[in-house]
Structure 1
Amino acid sequence: MPEQGERIVCHLDKLLADRGLTLAELASQVGITVVNLSILKNNRAKAIRYSTLAALCDALACQPGDLFSYDETR
């Protein structure tokens, strides 16, 4: 059985594509590194700070539920 964190799926690719943004542009807007955003985008992050989540939601004009979902089939 996978760990609970492995069931959380990040939809950053879709949000970026929908808004015509690159990872580098978003990193600049949010103030975090491209490497850290890439870790998040590729579902390798173990945690996210609320301040980072809020900054991403502000920059992407979305809700946390738009950015992440829970996949019970994983």
Structure 2
Amino acid sequence: MRIVVTLDVMLARRKMKSKDLAERVGITEANLSLLRTGKVKGVRFETLAKICEVLECKPSDLLDVEVGAAVSEGGDV
């Protein structure tokens, strides 16, 4: 089982560019890109809360579970 980040879907729904989201959340575009592509091991709750605040959504709108998939290695955002 692995966690799938669906941030791109929410960005499209909100018609927002990732560059704008990174600026409003206070993280680098590089870190947001790593999060969007699922190349991180984890995300700080504070960062997740800020993303949800800006996008007016819940964490469950940004994260999904894929059953039967391998977990990849990554870093924290």
TM-score normalised over the length of structure 2: 0.86
Does 2:69 match 1:69? Answer: no
Whole-angstrom distance in 2 between the partners of 1:27 and 1:42: 14
Greater strand proportion: 2
Which of 45, 54, 57 pairs up with 1:59? 54
Which of 24, 31, 36 pairs up with 1:29? 24
CA RMSD of the aligned region, Å?
Answer: 0.9
Per-residue CA deviation, residues 34-56 of structure 1 (Å, 9 max, x unaligned), is 00000000010111001001000
Aligned residues: 69
Whole-angstrom distance in 1 between the partners of 2:11 and 2:43: 18
Moved over 2 A (4+): none
**Percent identity of paired positions between Structure 1 and Structure 2:** 42
Partner letter of residue 39 of structure 2?
R
Structure 1: give runs of 5+ residues left out of the alignment: none
TM-score normalised over the length of structure 1: 0.89
Partner letter of residue 44 of structure 1?
K
